Amino acid sequence: MHTQVFVDDPVKIGQNFAGKHIISIRQFDPQSLEILFHKTSTIKRCLQNGEQGEALAGKVITLLFFEPSSRTFSSFSAAIKRLGGQTIEYQNPMQTSSAIKGETLEDTVRVFEGYSDGIVMRHFEEGAPARAAKALSRIPIMNAGDGSGEHPTQALLDMFTLYEKFGRLDHLKGVIAGDLLYGRTVHSLLKGLSFYPGNTFYLLSPKELRLPRELFEEYTKARVTLVEIEKETDIPTDCQVWYWTRVQKERLADPSTYEVLKNRFIVTKKLLKEKGNADMIIMHPLPRVGEIDPAIDTDPRAYYLTHEVPNGMYVRMALLSLVFGK
Ligand code: NCD
């Protein structure tokens, strides 16, 4: 099973988010990201001051998750409720819904179009949200992760986290490690960072889990410099970010290779001492399954739990209010 480049070209956001499907990070550009991040900062400040939003008052959004999820599902649910909206929450429809009886994805989403004002969908098949979008005529859909394709809202929260820390999304240097073949968060993040000049990323993975060639070419043709490395000793010491990911066990063509491929590269105190620096941050989309030693968690540079998790809710609130709000 190999990932494919997202072939359809969904509508660009530009300056207007209202009513648009959010399928891919490719729909964004520096201008739309500036609008989104400005809104995110405002929402974050308001919530921290105890103010409640109401951009989704009177709206019902369906969360339709065909694959396991903790953070993405819960942060979307919290974001919708904090904006005054309500949710229909459907996890594991393959076990409990008409999908088990053979209902098509198109029919399933058309049904929820009859009940709600929008759909947030996670699916194990790459391209499923794009396919669902074609079947919808009245309401927008947001991609919350499709197979090993994309995870646009994770990229948005990762980029917002970088933007908050460094005040820019250009001229950054980083390492992205782990499963770059199947890791959808990496696919979306690298594409998003390729919108900006001067970024250089070192891609640290086992040979078997290298970034798909077509994505490598697409991103480098854009504005990002990518350097593939296979050893921790090749990590430069002046990175702003280390972005670690788990091996996507459930997507391996041969699951028996998991034991061989997992945890080749682990963030430890020792590695940080040898290759890190004082101003960098450590990121991970989570869940981690051994790639970051928990002893690192109390290090102020560890951003995965303290910054990325809350930012996920703020960014999703901003996106939801721009897409669904009045
Ligand atoms: C990621 C995902 O589902 O792609 N998790 C998440 O949404 N934060 C990463 C993963 O599962 O490894």
d(CA 46, CA 40): 10
Pick from 209, 262, 200: nearest CA to 236: 200
Q: How would you class 51 by CB atoms within 10 Å of its CB: exposed for 0-12, middle for 13-18, buried for 19 or more? A: exposed
Whether 110 and 249 share a structural domain: no
CA of 298 to the centre of ligand 1 (A): 22
The finding on whether 3 has its CB within 6 A of some atom of ligand 1 is no
Residue 6 confidence (pLDDT): 42
Whether 145 and 168 share a structural domain: no
Is pLDDT of 74 > 90?
yes
Whether 41 and 169 share a structural domain: no
The residue behind tokens 């088990």 is 100
Residue 307 confidence (pLDDT): 98
* Residue 203 backbone dihedrals phi, psi, to 5 degrees: -100, 110
Whether 166 and 109 share a structural domain: no
The finding on whether 71 has its CB within 6 A of some atom of ligand 1 is yes
Q: Do the domain assignments include residue 170?
A: yes
Beta strand 200-204 with 173-177 is parallel
For residue 144, which atom of ligand 1 is closest to its CA?
7
* Residues labelled catalytic: 71-72, 101, 122, 151
User: How does residue 8 score in pLDDT terms, banded at 50, 70 and 90?
Assistant: low
In this structure, the number of other CB atoms found within 10 A of the CB of residue 129 comes to 30
Q: Do the domain assignments include residue 1?
A: no
The finding on whether 53 has its CB within 6 A of some atom of ligand 1 is no
pLDDT tens digits along 235-253: 999 999 999 999 999 999 8
Is pLDDT of 5 > 50?
no
Residue 52 confidence (pLDDT): 85
Q: Do the domain assignments include residue 215?
A: yes
User: How does residue 7 score in pLDDT terms, banded at 50, 70 and 90?
Assistant: very low
Lowest mean pLDDT, pick from 51-55, 110-114, 211-215, 281-285: 51-55
User: How does residue 101 score in pLDDT terms, banded at 50, 70 and 90?
Assistant: confident
Ligand 1 mutation target, pool 151, 179, 304, most atoms within 8 A of CB: 151
203 or 93, higher pLDDT:
203
Residue 10 confidence (pLDDT): 77
Mean pLDDT of 36-52: 96
User: How does residue 92 score in pLDDT terms, banded at 50, 70 and 90?
Assistant: confident
Mean pLDDT of 69-75: 96
d(CA 200, CA 173): 5
Sheet with 200-204: strands ordered across = 225-229, 200-204, 173-177, 241-244, 281-283
- For residue 262, what is the domain's CATH number? 3.40.50.1370
Preceding peptide of 30 cis, ω within 30°: no
Kindly report the average pLDDT of the chain as a whole number.
95
CA-CA-CA-CA dihedral for 142, 13, 41, 139, to nearest 10: -40
Whether 283 and 172 share a structural domain: yes
Pick from 73, 132, 83: nearest CA to 103: 132
For residue 285, which atom of ligand 1 is closest to its CA?
8
How far lies 147's CA from each of 11, 28, 232, in Å?
Answer: 21, 21, 28
Q: Do the domain assignments include residue 120?
A: yes
Residue 169 confidence (pLDDT): 98
Strands (E), the chain: 60-65, 86-91, 118-123, 141-146, 173-177, 200-204, 225-229, 241-244, 281-283
Side chain identity at residue 277, one-letter code: N
The domain of 287 spans 152-305
Whether 137 and 244 share a structural domain: no
Mean pLDDT of 223-242: 97
The finding on whether 184 has its CB within 6 A of some atom of ligand 1 is yes
Mean pLDDT of 99-106: 86
Residue 9 confidence (pLDDT): 65
pLDDT tens digits along 265-299: 999 999 999 999 999 999 999 999 999 999 999 99
Lowest mean pLDDT, pick from 56-65, 79-88, 110-119, 247-256: 247-256
The finding on whether 285 has its CB within 6 A of some atom of ligand 1 is yes
Is pLDDT of 3 > 80?
no
Whether 139 and 164 share a structural domain: no
